[in-house]
Amino acid sequence: MNKRGLFRYWDLLRKGDVLFLLAIFLIFLFFLKESFNYPHESRSFPEVIILSTLILSGILLVVYFFFPSLKNTIVSPEPDGEREAQREWKTRGRFYRGWLSIAISILTAFLFGFLFLIPASFISYTLLLGRKGMFLKILLLSLATTLLVYIVFDRFLGIPTMRGYLWTQ
């Protein structure tokens, strides 16, 4: 169904590509305003970059909103046969669970030290996204890896892997 007027713009705003471009445009507009606070010699180069990015993202936004028929030619100027579709978004559940696993791992590292990131990431990933039948194998592997990382990073390279917010060695 061909929507017209404001409804079409509303639909466009719900598209990830347009939202991303709009975000870039607004953020760079903010950076441009911020650059006015700096002396001329410090802001000349960033301003060239910011203005170029604003112009490029602005052109794309104009094309998306007002000249949709030109979108394919401007955005990906490939002959039709060579044009590749954007990658499909996979199931949202696995996406959120993936980030939850990363968040758990980072929180553990922050609280207890980097060494604890290893069992946390193995266990959280297996429980949230993996096969539960592999849990014991994964647990053993995570312990062996923890020991190896401790020897290489902490003992050999001197990186403090056991220093966290709650607990310092």
Q: Are 43 and 36 in contact (CB under 8 A)?
A: yes
Minimal distance, residue 123 CB to other proteins, in Å: 9
Q: Which residue lies nearer to other proteins by CB, 5 or 89?
A: 89
Cβ contacts of 29 within 8 Å, gap of 6 or more: 54
Q: Which residue lies nearer to other proteins by CB, 5 or 158?
A: 158
Report the alpha-carbon distance of residue 11 to residue 64 in Å, rounded. Answer: 11
Q: Are 25 and 54 in contact (CB under 8 A)?
A: yes
Site for other proteins in 55-114 (CB under 8 A): 56-57, 59-60, 73-79, 82, 86-87, 89-91, 94-95, 97-99, 101-102, 105-106, 109-110, 114
Q: Which residue lies nearer to other proteins by CB, 2 or 64?
A: 64
Interacting residue with other proteins among 11, 13, 33, 49 (CB under 8 A)? 49
Backbone torsions φ then ψ of 126, nearest 5 degrees: -65, -40
